Structure 1
Amino acid sequence: MPPVVSSSGVGAGHPASGVRYGPALTLLASLFFMWGFITVINNTLLPHLRSVFELNYTQTTLIESVWFIAYFVASIPSAKLIERIGYQKSLVIGLLVMAAGALGMMLAASIPSYGVTLAMLFVIASGITLLQVAANPYVAVVGKPETASSRLNLVQAMNSAGTMLAPMFGAYLILGRSKGGTATADTVLTHAERLADAQSVLLPYALVAAVLVVLAVVIARFPLPAMGSATQRLAAEERKHLSLWKHRNLVFGVPAIFIYLIAEIGVANLFVNFVSQPDIANLTHEQAGKYLTFLWGGMMVGRFAGSAIMQKVDAGLVLAAFSIGAFVVMLVTVFSTGPAAMWSLILVGLFHSIMFPTIFTLGIRGLGPLTEEGSGLLIMAIAGGALVVVQGYLADSYGLQASFLLTAACELYVLFYALWGSRPTHALPDVTLED
């Protein structure tokens, strides 16, 4: 796996004299916010597209699968691009690629075309992949290794702020401005109504594209500090006797990220359809989309709280406690009805909050000079979100509510990882950049 970032000047484990990373982390937090915001727009976009194109659950979740396949396809090319042109230029390119995809979504709505929609979502996700491949390891290595989980949870809280605001944005500008979004669950739309509904995404994606271009200009002009040799790949001769596969926390961490993403994305994507059901909350899609804000708001609160807790409590123990909580509320979701089922599904956001950043930092713990390669593998594992299509199939075959048993099973793997799989083996000295 090629390095995720490259530059020169800072030795491994030695801070650059006079360099402060606070402003850079603040700017990176805005990137976390934007890719969280854009990703969660999909949660309101999917029920909208399901209505416009008359899709079943399998076809609907295939849209999100295409999104996460981009993480698998684009991860290695992203790492190579960063190695070739540098960290800062790659961030700018990633933002511009996302902007191009957002403009492409306007084209897809104008036709309208299911195929073009899939292609443009892939483009947007590829841009986000480029940002993810660089930004997550950057945050993880800036500072002390023992507080890496706390630090990444704190910055990821800004990602959650984006995910919390996106449902309100999508519910108002997409679902609230469409016939399908304001109608009851059993309403059948005419062909003309579906064509009119397709146009409702034009304004939201025009606004998103404009913000992304502005952010790209800001990043291009910002004096980001060099990452240095702390994140550079070892020369082939030096790393001959080092192997990623000797590190249990990474070997089990890659499937932990993969499996966790199935759970997170399945809940988010099917939330609106689930709570809209007559025996759950009997809401319109627009109304249900607003409740999605509470799901993502719980993730933001959980990350701030988790960041504080992990300053004093072992990250593995915190992860174990949160995975048990997630398992319990998913069982309530499956085996209850009415408000209890809706609010238990909302509550899983709180328990999911710390999982990605904590698994990520536990996965690279003790990798030392192999940190960059391990980080790349963990980012590729985000492609697990593509398997949300499996939950779509289960929903079509056995019912939407029963399909959340898959989510409950995913929580159990995270619990296994927290208690045993995350324990480092053959740990190497950590490389850090001190703020």
Structure 2
Amino acid sequence: MKNKYLLAFILLTSLFFLWGFALNLNPILIPHLKKACQLTDFQSALIDSASYIAYFLVALPAGLFMKKYGYKYGITLGLLLFAVGTFLFYPAAELRNYAFFLVALFVIASGLTFLETAANPYITVLGDADSATQRLNFAQSFNGLAAFLAPLAGGLFILSGKTLTAQEEQAMSTDQLNEYLNHEASSVQTPFLLIGVVVLLVAILIWRTALPEIKEETDETSSSSDSIWGEKNLILGVIAQFFYVGAQVCVSSFFIRFSDKVAGIEERSAAFFLSGALLGFMIGRFVGTYLMRFVAPSRLLAIYSVINFALLIIAIMTNGMVSIYALIGVEFFMSIMFPTIFALSIRGLGEKTKIGSSLVIMAIVGGAIFPVIMGRISDVTNIQTSYIVPALCFTVVLYFALKNAKVKYIKLGSSH
């Protein structure tokens, strides 16, 4: 990587950590708000919907905004929205209003959409094109670090470890029950205020730092006069990303509930298991980045898709800790999927990179849809059976990987 891009690369990488931390608090919020707001599995899954629907609604406007004003303005606006959303958690908890929580999550995710729409393609062009996939996987590794730390912090500072049974609720007076529920809701206030302050500080730092504005070069096979919808591999990548993000969110979001029902692990302990699983996710990013020196990204993506399908079938068909370890394995093998699908999808788009990346980011809406389907299946059958949803999603990722396997790659051995 050219030295002139080093500071920009470091700052952009910090953004991967921030949005990774925010999104990976959702698996904590789902069981927590399920208690505090007395929700069903289907209703609690709307936490993911509120977050990921923002990617669908905001990604294209974010891309157009940055096409006109540049990456720096887009990143700054994204950070400001992110901060506002975290501050909204305070009144939402005071009112113990689930709809208010969903609005706050939507605002946070709107900010994250700007960050992802900017940071993902920005990282790919901050250096040699041949090492773009490897570079993006490296930056996403810090997203993986945040994914490990978020449930750990959430388990310590948000979850109480106390879940009332139906009999215990009935034995309480109305005032006692409200006191318990209000206490549960209020535990999110301080953590989210602190996150908001950190995000504002990063916004100030980004604004005061001179970032290079990257001008994507026009590719010979892709001109701005061509329709973006004519990019077949991009469209296939959008579909693959839609199913992948749906699978990723399903696996993580219901992990704590799955651990309780299948292995009898209480919520705080399950949060630590989830943190360990996401540590594996982070390690997987670094391992995958290294393996891409020797294995084409599309081929590695195909191999990991098959492994994840098999692991999910094991999680569905077995009980106890075997199922838990199978899900932990899925986290490791999901690690490279988002950045690899992203980089393969926008490869060679030239001047259409910003709009193309917006479409791939819009596909994150899969995280809003599949958990709701999974939650409904869980309510009707059980949480274990519902994991068939992410298993089927990985078959679509496999198809995309195989379609890209014929693309000729130079070994990704360049330094970051």
Give the TM-score taking structure 2 as reference length.
Answer: 0.91
Describe the superposition over 1:21-42 as per-residue Cα deviations: whole angstroms up to 9, x where unpaired: 1221111111100100011111
Describe the superposition over 1:375-411 as per-residue Cα deviations: whole angstroms up to 9, x where unpaired: 1111111111111211111111121100101111111
**Are 2:407 and 1:420 equivalent residues in the alignment?**
no
**Are 2:291 and 1:304 equivalent residues in the alignment?**
no
- Separation (CA, whole Å) in 2 of partners of 1:186 and 1:346: 30
Of 226, 244, 260, the match for 1:276? 260
**Are 2:353 and 1:368 equivalent residues in the alignment?**
no
- The 3 A distance-change label for structure 1 pair 117 and 188 is farther
Unaligned runs of 5+ in 1: 1-14, 426-433
- Separation (CA, whole Å) in 2 of partners of 1:246 and 1:342: 43
Deviation at 1:302, TM superposition (A): 0.7
Matches within 5 A, 1:182-193: 182-183=162-163, 188-189=168-169, 190-193=177-180
State the secondary structure of the residue aligned to 2:348.
coil
State the secondary structure of the residue aligned to 1:230.
coil
Of 148, 155, 163, the match for 1:171? 155
Deviation at 1:373, TM superposition (A): 2.4
Where does residue 202 of structure 1 map in the other structure? 189
Where does residue 328 of structure 1 map in the other structure? 310
Matches within 5 A, 1:318-357: 318-357=300-339
- The 3 A distance-change label for structure 1 pair 419 and 199 is same
- Indicate if the aligned counterparts of 2:216 and 2:353 stay in contact, CA closer than 8 A: no
Matches within 5 A, 1:18-57: 20-57=4-41
Bigger mean CA offset, 188-197 vs 99-108: 188-197
Where does residue 405 of structure 1 map in the other structure? 388
- The 3 A distance-change label for structure 1 pair 29 and 192 is same
- Indicate if the aligned counterparts of 1:334 and 1:404 stay in contact, CA closer than 8 A: yes
**Are 2:102 and 1:118 equivalent residues in the alignment?**
yes
- Indicate if the aligned counterparts of 2:259 and 2:265 stay in contact, CA closer than 8 A: yes
Where does residue 221 of structure 1 map in the other structure? 208
- Separation (CA, whole Å) in 2 of partners of 1:146 and 1:135: 18
Deviation at 1:19, TM superposition (A): 6.2
Deviation at 1:226, TM superposition (A): 1.9
Matches within 5 A, 1:61-72: 61-72=45-56
State the secondary structure of the residue aligned to 1:164.
helix
**Are 2:124 and 1:140 equivalent residues in the alignment?**
yes
- The 3 A distance-change label for structure 1 pair 243 and 90 is closer
Describe the superposition over 1:42-73 as per-residue Cα deviations: whole angstroms up to 9, x where unpaired: 11011000001111111010121111000011
- The 3 A distance-change label for structure 1 pair 281 and 201 is same
- Separation (CA, whole Å) in 2 of partners of 1:424 and 1:266: 30
- Separation (CA, whole Å) in 2 of partners of 1:261 and 1:390: 14
- Indicate if the aligned counterparts of 1:252 and 1:421 stay in contact, CA closer than 8 A: no
Describe the superposition over 1:340-365 as per-residue Cα deviations: whole angstroms up to 9, x where unpaired: 00111111000100000001111112
Where does residue 82 of structure 1 map in the other structure? 66
Query: 1:217 corresponds to which letter in structure 2?
Result: I
- Separation (CA, whole Å) in 1 of partners of 2:63 and 2:231: 22
- Separation (CA, whole Å) in 2 of partners of 1:157 and 1:188: 43
State the secondary structure of the residue aligned to 2:39.
coil
- Separation (CA, whole Å) in 2 of partners of 1:300 and 1:276: 24
**Are 2:372 and 1:392 equivalent residues in the alignment?**
no
- Separation (CA, whole Å) in 2 of partners of 1:187 and 1:254: 47
- The 3 A distance-change label for structure 1 pair 203 and 231 is farther
Deviation at 1:146, TM superposition (A): 2.7
- Indicate if the aligned counterparts of 2:280 and 2:332 stay in contact, CA closer than 8 A: yes
Bigger mean CA offset, 184-193 vs 92-101: 184-193
- Separation (CA, whole Å) in 2 of partners of 1:188 and 1:69: 36
- The 3 A distance-change label for structure 1 pair 286 and 389 is same
- Indicate if the aligned counterparts of 2:125 and 2:214 stay in contact, CA closer than 8 A: no
- The 3 A distance-change label for structure 1 pair 313 and 229 is closer
- Separation (CA, whole Å) in 1 of partners of 2:294 and 2:7: 26
Identity of aligned residues (%): 37
- The 3 A distance-change label for structure 1 pair 84 and 227 is same
Deviation at 1:298, TM superposition (A): 1.2
- The 3 A distance-change label for structure 1 pair 317 and 169 is same
**Are 2:269 and 1:287 equivalent residues in the alignment?**
yes
Deviation at 1:120, TM superposition (A): 0.6
Describe the superposition over 1:194-253 as per-residue Cα deviations: whole angstroms up to 9, x where unpaired: 111111111111111111111111111122112135389x99xx633x243443321211
Query: 1:288 corresponds to which letter in structure 2?
Result: A
Query: 2:341 corresponds to which letter in structure 1?
Result: I
- The 3 A distance-change label for structure 1 pair 231 and 137 is farther
Where does residue 3 of structure 1 map in the other structure? none
Where does residue 211 of structure 1 map in the other structure? 198
- Separation (CA, whole Å) in 1 of partners of 2:338 and 2:165: 33
- Indicate if the aligned counterparts of 2:62 and 2:113 stay in contact, CA closer than 8 A: yes
- Separation (CA, whole Å) in 1 of partners of 2:11 and 2:302: 31
- Indicate if the aligned counterparts of 2:302 and 2:398 stay in contact, CA closer than 8 A: yes
Describe the superposition over 1:71-104 as per-residue Cα deviations: whole angstroms up to 9, x where unpaired: 0111122123223433223212211111111010
- The 3 A distance-change label for structure 1 pair 225 and 185 is farther
Where does residue 174 of structure 2 map in the other structure? none
Where does residue 172 of structure 2 map in the other structure? none
Where does residue 155 of structure 1 map in the other structure? 139
Describe the superposition over 1:102-149 as per-residue Cα deviations: whole angstroms up to 9, x where unpaired: 010111001111111110100000000010111100111222333221
Of 103, 106, 127, the match for 2:87? 103
State the secondary structure of the residue aligned to 1:399.
coil
Deviation at 1:418, TM superposition (A): 0.7
Paired positions, count: 401
**Are 2:364 and 1:382 equivalent residues in the alignment?**
yes
